[in-house]
């Protein structure tokens, strides 16, 4: 069991650029979640997928954010026209979709927008 992986681990970009992050969940998990965490705060929910279907989106997810999970396996989170306020740790989690429903988190992608 390799756990949840995220790529890249760190990203520095200039304001106005687009960025894309990737998340690979635990292999048998059919639910995948994206959260955002800023310094001194707990993670805040952005969106989640069950298989390839995006079932819930937060009001935090502006039109500049889009997430996909095309084949129900890995997921991508794209931020268009980045702003300095987008600087944060972007966390991905996955869960089995049945039973205890524990969400297991990846190491995160740290984004810095200059």
Partner 1 sequence: EDQVTQSPEALRLQEGESSSLNCSYTVSGLRGLFWYRQDPGKGPEFLFTLYSAGEEKEKERLKATLTKKESFLHITAPKPEDSATYLCAERAQGGSEKLVFGKGTKLTVNP
Q: Which residues contact 102 (CB under 8 A, 6 or more apart)?
A: 95, 96
Per the CB < 8 A criterion, the answer to whether 48 and 31 are in contact is yes
Nearer to partner 1, 5 or 80 (CB): 5
Please state, in angstroms and as integers, the Cα–Cα distance from residue 105 to each residue in 3, 35, 39, 108, following that order: 8, 10, 17, 8
Least distance between partner 1 and beta carbon 8 (Å) = 14
Nearer to partner 1, 15 or 40 (CB): 40
Nearer to partner 1, 56 or 83 (CB): 56
Least distance between partner 1 and beta carbon 81 (Å) = 26
Nearer to partner 1, 21 or 48 (CB): 48
- Interface residues with partner 1 (CB under 8 A) are 4, 6, 31, 33, 35, 40-45, 48, 55-56, 58, 91, 93, 95, 100-108, 110
The tokens describing 51, both together, are 């298989």
Task: Point out which residues pair with 54 in neighbouring strands.
Answer: 49
Task: Point out which residues pair with 49 in neighbouring strands.
Answer: 32, 54
Least distance between partner 1 and beta carbon 103 (Å) = 6
């Amino acid at each position: 069991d390799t756990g949840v992986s995220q790529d890249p681990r760190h990203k520095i970009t200039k304001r106005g650029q687009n960025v894309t992050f990737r998340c690979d969940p635990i292999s048998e998990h059919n639910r995948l979640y994206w959260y955002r965490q800023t310094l001194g705060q707990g993670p805040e929910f952005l969106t989640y997928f069950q298989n390839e279907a995006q079932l819930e989106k937060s009001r935090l997810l502006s039109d500049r954010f889009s997430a996909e999970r095309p084949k129900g396996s890995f997921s991508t989170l794209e931020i268009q026209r980045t702003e300095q306020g987008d600087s944060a740790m972007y966390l991905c989690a996955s869960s089995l979709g049945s039973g205890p429903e524990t969400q297991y988190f990846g190491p995160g992608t740290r984004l810095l927008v200059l």
